[in-house]
Amino acid sequence: MSVAYDDSVGVEVSSDSFWEVGNYKRTVKRIEDGHRLCSDLMNCLHERARIEKAYAQQLTEWARRWRQLVDKGPQYGTVEKAWVAVMSEAEKVSELHLEVKASLMNEDFEKIKNWQKEAFHKQMMGGFKETKEAEDGFRKAQKPWAKKLKEVEAAKKAYHAACKEEKLAISRETNSKADPSLNPEQLKKLQDKVEKCKQDVLKTKEKYEKSLKELGQGTPQYMEGMEQVFEQCQQFEEKRLRFFREVLLEVQKHLDLSNVASYKNIYRDLEQSIKAADAVEDLRWFRANHGPGMSMNWPQFEEWSADLNRTLSRREKKKTADGVTLTGINQTGDQTLQSKPSSVSSCEKTQSYPTDWSDDESNNPFSSTDANGDSNPFDEDTPSGTEVRVRALYDYEGQEHDELSFKAGDELTKIEDEDEQGWCKGRLDNGQVGLYPANYVEEIQ
């Protein structure tokens, strides 16, 4: 602690050492920082849990929407099943992410919250009990040494002042010898001043050295006391650091789905479902259900019947199909319909084909009468039903006069449910009523 006198030194450079008076406060502040870090870690996990929940909800909504679109779309057979398996994967993964969210909040978050409450005890006047205990411990260990240090600083200041005064006295004495105007009495006073300053220097130096010696003797005890309190703070911090490491390992286990058996099974099942798709099987099924493999009511001689005497329109036939009786129908034996019950497709659910045929123009769905607009398909009675608001998923341009046109994102009202051919009747906001493809829209939730 001894510093040689130098009158060129104006301000002492303070040390940043832990042993300097008051520098233990950084160690004390670390205790308060530990409490704040617990809160920060809880906020971190809470945000991640919200992300997991939002992702799970988005997966579920995506799977629901696309399952409906694929179900109503033209894809069929085993490839349709493989496609739907992708949506099943999303639903199962969504459930796992909800489990991750629950683990983060119910286990990890609560664990940190309880540890923080047990480790840090708030005081009525603010702050924490642990912080005050550390502060008091350091202050008590440092107080005797700080008092002696203050005495050393005072002795040093007095010694340096004496040295400076001695130097000034010697300088005056030297200058007076060259000044003939000074009498012997004045010279004697200057010499006495120099002698007194030298004695003061010796006295202050002795006191300074004594103070330093006493400070040095008290330093080991000071260091021991400070070390003891510091080690107590280190032990407290070690508990927090080890706890954080333990919690973060638990978080890692909850986030790492690659080690979850059910997660691996999801993608094993998805792979099997996709590999089960068989193009040959799907083509064979389509041929049997919608191609040349279908049975046919070939024309046969029919006796006259009053029930067949009138011509039915396309929509009348649709309404009264269950009441029509056909006679003289004969099926070919090798062309009966053969389809696997497990291979039901969206085409089979959304398409229908006429069971009889006539060369009468009024019975032809592509006749010029309908195409040219001579008859209004909406003149017939409209079946009652619940009106539902829907939103267009894609652009659609009506191909016939009785079809609606809209853009993706447009909203309209469904006034009739989907028919056998996959069409719905709807009404635009401008009042126009017409048909549109059912799989081009989705209900507004």
Q: What is the DSSP string of 171-194?
A: HHHHHHHT-TTS-HHHHHHHHHHH
Q: What is the pLDDT of residue 188?
A: 79
Alpha carbon distance 73, 351 (integer Å): 11
Pair of tokens at residue 40: 């920060």
| DSSP secondary structure code for residue 19 in this structure | T
Closest C-alpha among 394, 393, 388 to residue 425: 388
Q: State residue 405's pLDDT score.
A: 94
Can you tell me the distance from the alpha carbon of 192 to that of 435, in angstroms, rounded to the nearest whole number? 125
Residue whose C-alpha is closest to residue 113's, from 39, 50, 198, 55: 39
Distance CA 421, CA 437 (A): 9
Please report the pLDDT score of residue 385 as a whole number. 57
CA–CA separation, 189 vs 304, rounded Å? 161
pLDDT of residue 25: 92
At residue 14, the pLDDT reads: 55
Q: What percent of the chain has pLDDT over 90?
A: 61
Q: Are 142 and 226 within 8 A, CB to CB?
A: yes
Give the residues of the chain that fall short of pLDDT 70.
Answer: 1-14, 180, 305-385
Alpha-carbon span 97 to 54, nearest angstrom: 9
Grouping H, G, I as helix, E, B as strand and the rest as coil, residue 339 is: coil
Sign of the alpha-carbon torsion through 357, 362, 367, 373: negative
Token pair of 356 as six digits: 């009889």
Residue 306: what pLDDT?
A: 62
CA dist 151 and 350 (Å) reads 100
Instruction: Give the pLDDT of residue 16.
Output: 84
Helix (H) or strand (E) holding 416: strand 411-416
CA distances for 255 relative to 100, 114, 403, angstroms: 6, 21, 51
CA 104 to chain centroid, in Å, comes to 12
